[in-house]
A and B are shown apart, each in its own frame.
Chain A
């Protein structure tokens, strides 16, 4: 399990990185950010990139900033960085909670938010967050910058709008209004494993009923997405168990579940019902959430 040979590039500016990428893109040159997915693929010789463009020496990519009602997350921001308060509650609380479910601490110190989005694993927690909250994807190449909305970004299992020679340099998440409630729930075989199913819900209540709802499901379909039918089932109703059940049942009914050797469609569908309901209950239960692990919060 030794990676195949590659040429290593270590640009120190983004422009330099994009210039190199433009040259090597045709040969399947790849960006190396955290490497927590790419390097195992290379070790297993499932990926043979002949060029690696290591962006770790470009400090400007390691920043988050709040701007125009959005949290912008650069291409080198690690999972663990998002467990710290970012000064944008309640969104940063949501991110901290979700981050604590991603793999394990030594992976979170390296792996990046944008790397997960670019890899677009169906069970990626960050893809679920991006899909549910409606992220904007800033994609650059040597030729210029374009911005892609979430509706166009995800294009299938591990397939995105990022083209050859392009790089996801930043993702922007809309901030959550202060009165937003949110809940996340995932089920995995072991601690830190990819989830068999997960859900993220954000709610705003108006006059005792749900005024606005976002319900996203991940790990169950080709890529995470919002389930409009489930959201519609909730809006205008009191945020109680019956309403949550109705929304969850709706989500389970409309998804197109992935199947594999261990997991059939029925299991995934039923699990979606469970995780949606539990995410909704979690939203009501911990209105003010805190990170599950605080270690990263202090780093």
Chain B
């Protein structure tokens, strides 16, 4: 096969034309005749016993078809864990409508079904709930309380370790101890959640429209929860207005629209509003780490001992303890670490439930670990560069297995040359010049600082993905995948891989995704896996279609297969210039079930392809920033930002750049702006976009991007690694470090986000501001 140069090229996206012309089809754009609109009545209390619910006035409102409380759906299953039953954690799951008690402001208490969204909201206002207040637990680092009689709010203690921790600390030249906190924030896609349930009684098929991220896994979960055959449930992904980890998990509302569609006999549409979104959709990130590091006299890590408190919020949702587990498994990052112990207190609080958000556990642990590295460097008089270089795993140590687990598999770094990327990034950033410039500006009275942070990401979680490539009789190509698109450019990437392998134009390829009725299996799009897994499966399927096409063409053209190639959708002879050619559509016609030329071959110019992998891939990166602090207001401005990232191999560099730039903006939000705050009674204070501060064009500088391909993954034939989480991963870490530098107080930043109010307190010499309040 000739190198066609399609992979690796920044081609325009196939997704864009409908999206720029207003022809996209997002969840709210989907309508069915006779549909009902659902509105959720949510708890106004953070923790209370439900004394009574009076829905009579709501039921009496014209246009209201039904109002449900938990009593109306006694058979409803709580929202299940994606990876299947877990006896220990099961009592902490969320019911689709609260039963005896509510546990956070926003907890669904009742569901109204009405002829319009307006009337449904009017009716929801009329549902009167009487509560008896219960004590609230709002801090995961406070002593645990009682979740239910005899059941602690510490659902479990997650732990991972290796080596003799006491011996390592006893032998240490220096022990560094830090107390670090990451604030509560989350993905907040521009499209809120949406779900439309529809029951086709004629075929006995239940449909969920507005699905995202993991349609196939959700189909399986829904089958378990609803007691239905999975062939009788279909999920349909529409356009998805941003995923970021939170969208596409199963939530109570998804189950409610399906149950209602069946019982009420009409399609049921639910579109989350923004206020609901900020109190109902998964939060993330909130952790406090008490970390100790033992180092030798040269600044080499001997051991890390970390105890952390994970604020899970009110219930354990679909992910179970995944974020806390990977917090243990992935904290060590790019460094050699002989001894390690991590213990995480996984605790329930009376706040919105938490789960994954883009770069889950890495955003948090990169902040924690890189804070530790800065402190070690400072205590031993090593530069930030030297202390890191000294501890890097070497290229020669790859693949490197650490006796830890993350996302259900052992941690094995597949490839990497961390020192090389750091050197390249230092050069690209002009680090030495920047340092000199900082010194000059500081001498002139400015509070400016530059810093760096290093990280290892993970991507391409396996184990297996499949794709089907179909060439129709007109020569058009369809790739049917079990992947999902959250707006990242999935269709374009898959089309590029198929085009390169098969030999067709990429814009003649239709990529289907997120539909359980088209393909039986699918991994969806999470953990930056779509490109790695689905692209490799597509390559495998396309290669088989190619072989089949050439086989038939050889017969049609009376030529040896070796002399044939496929170019722009036609099979041509490579040994004769301007010789005869055959279009793929014609070959497809000759493979029709009744075609004479088929000669016993499997009908159709199509094939499935599968890709299996034992391990995920571990891309890695460096982030560097220059910040300026206004000491009078406490404001922080980011003047420069660089992300250096080794992607193994980029299929479409433009899209990788886009992922990095967008991730950075979100990371900046978590570092400086975004925070879910609560009152002392558990009232959420960040439920509008005037209070939850997403950075705008004025706050986000353009990111300088250094994309390298020095360490292709040996785990897959294309050598690719994922890119989705690289831009965000270490932003908290690098901004914190740069602010330290700017204000000249090493280790000052112990808490994210760095708000002006907190920074002013630090500048006034008050440490650990607000955290104790």
Direct chain A–B contact by Cβ atoms under 8 Å = yes
Listed in ascending order, the chain A residues whose CB lies under 8 Å from chain B are 1-2, 4-5, 40, 44-45, 187, 189-194, 196, 261-264, 266-267, 270-271, 273-274
Q: Which residues of A contact B696 (CB under 8 A)?
A: 190-192
Query: Taking each of B121, B761, B764, which has the highest tally of chain A beta carbons within 10 Å of its own beta carbon?
Result: B121
Whole-angstrom distance between the alpha carbons of A191 and B673 in the complex? 12
Answer yes or no: B226 CB below 8 A from chain A CBs: no
Whole-angstrom distance between the alpha carbons of A261 and B121 in the complex? 30
Whole-angstrom distance between the alpha carbons of A222 and B118 in the complex? 35
A264 and B125 contact, CB distance less than 8 A? no
Q: Which residues of B contact A262 (CB under 8 A)?
A: 677, 755, 757
Whole-angstrom distance between the alpha carbons of A40 and B125 in the complex? 17
Q: Which residues of B contact A261 (CB under 8 A)?
A: 677, 679, 685
Q: Which residues of B contact A266 (CB under 8 A)?
A: 764
- Nearest A-chain residue to B675, judged by Cβ: A262
Q: Which residues of B contact A190 (CB under 8 A)?
A: 673, 693, 695-696, 698-699
B684 to nearest A CB, angstroms? 11
**8 tightest A-B contacts by CB?**
A191-B698, A1-B273, A274-B632, A2-B118, A187-B633, A2-B121, A267-B757, A263-B757
Q: Which residues of A contact B125 (CB under 8 A)?
A: 4, 45
Listed in ascending order, the chain B residues whose CB lies under 8 Å from chain A are 117-118, 121-122, 125, 273-275, 632-635, 673, 677, 679, 685, 688, 690, 693, 695-699, 755-757, 760-761, 764
A2 and B117 contact, CB distance less than 8 A? yes
Known: A1-B275, A187-B635, A191-B697. 11 other contacts (CB 8 A): A2-B121, A44-B275, A45-B125, A189-B755, A189-B756, A192-B696, A261-B677, A261-B685, A262-B755, A271-B633, A273-B632
A35 to nearest B CB, angstroms? 16
- Nearest A-chain residue to B763, judged by Cβ: A270
Q: Which residues of A contact B677 (CB under 8 A)?
A: 261-262
Pick from B121, B632, B699, B757: contact of A264, CB under 8 Å: B757
A4 and B698 contact, CB distance less than 8 A? no
Main secondary structure, interface of A, reads loop
A190 to nearest B CB, angstroms? 6
- Nearest A-chain residue to B764, judged by Cβ: A266
Q: Which residues of B contact A44 (CB under 8 A)?
A: 275, 688
A1 and B274 contact, CB distance less than 8 A? yes
Query: Taking each of B125, B273, B696, B757, which has the highest tally of chain A beta carbons within 10 Å of its own beta carbon?
Result: B757
A193 to nearest B CB, angstroms? 7
Whole-angstrom distance between the alpha carbons of A261 and B755 in the complex? 12
- Nearest B-chain residue to A194, judged by Cβ: B690
B121 and A189 contact, CB distance less than 8 A? no
A277 to nearest B CB, angstroms? 8
Q: Which residues of B contact A264 (CB under 8 A)?
A: 757
Q: Which residues of A contact B273 (CB under 8 A)?
A: 1
Q: Which residues of B contact A4 (CB under 8 A)?
A: 122, 125
- Nearest B-chain residue to A275, judged by Cβ: B633
A108 to nearest B CB, angstroms? 16
Whole-angstrom distance between the alpha carbons of A12 and B313 in the complex? 53
Q: Which residues of A contact B679 (CB under 8 A)?
A: 261
A189 and B275 contact, CB distance less than 8 A? no
B62 to nearest A CB, angstroms? 12
Q: Which residues of A contact B756 (CB under 8 A)?
A: 187, 189, 196, 267
Whole-angstrom distance between the alpha carbons of A189 and B690 in the complex? 10
- Nearest B-chain residue to A267, judged by Cβ: B757
Whole-angstrom distance between the alpha carbons of A2 and B760 in the complex? 40
Whole-angstrom distance between the alpha carbons of A122 and B672 in the complex? 24
- Nearest B-chain residue to A264, judged by Cβ: B757
A267 and B632 contact, CB distance less than 8 A? no
A41 to nearest B CB, angstroms? 11
Whole-angstrom distance between the alpha carbons of A200 and B690 in the complex? 24
Q: List 19 A-B contacts (CB under 8 A).
A: A2-B118, A44-B275, A44-B688, A45-B121, A189-B693, A189-B756, A190-B673, A190-B696, A190-B699, A192-B696, A194-B690, A196-B633, A261-B679, A261-B685, A262-B677, A264-B757, A267-B756, A274-B632, A274-B633
